[in-house]
Amino acid sequence: MLTGKRFRLMTATLAIDSSGEKRIAVTVPAGSVIEVIRGPRPNDTRMVHVRWNTRVLVMFTADVEGRGQEVTGRTAGA
């Protein structure tokens, strides 16, 4: 389960912002810290919802796990 875990992205990674009427592709820069806030869902393990700064985005689970390094503790900066 990834929910609640934070990851520092080692490479720039594509995410989707679906907060508006249209879905918009967003590049989350390398070095950014994301937090998984939902997912993956039992019926769809491919996608997770993440918080990056103040934005809620959708990312591929494989990208989070493959391009991110888990951040533990409270001292990690965003």
Q: Report DSSP letters for 16-47, one per residue.
A: EE-SSSS-EEEEEPTT-EEEEEE--BTTBTTE
pTM given for the model: 0.85
- Domain residue spans in the chain? 6-71
Q: What is the topology classification, in CATH, of domain 6-71?
A: SH3 type barrels. (2.30.30)
What is residue 78's DSSP assignment?
Answer: -
User: Helix (H) and strand (E) counts for the chain?
Assistant: 1, 7
Q: Is 30 within 8 Å of 10 (Cβ atoms)?
A: yes
Q: Over the stretch 14-69, which tens digit does the pLDDT of each residue have? A: 999 988 899 999 999 999 999 999 988 777 789 999 999 999 999 999 999 999 99
Q: 24-28 and 68-71: which strand pairing?
A: unpaired
The most distant pair of C-alpha atoms in the chain lies apart, rounded to whole Å, by: 36
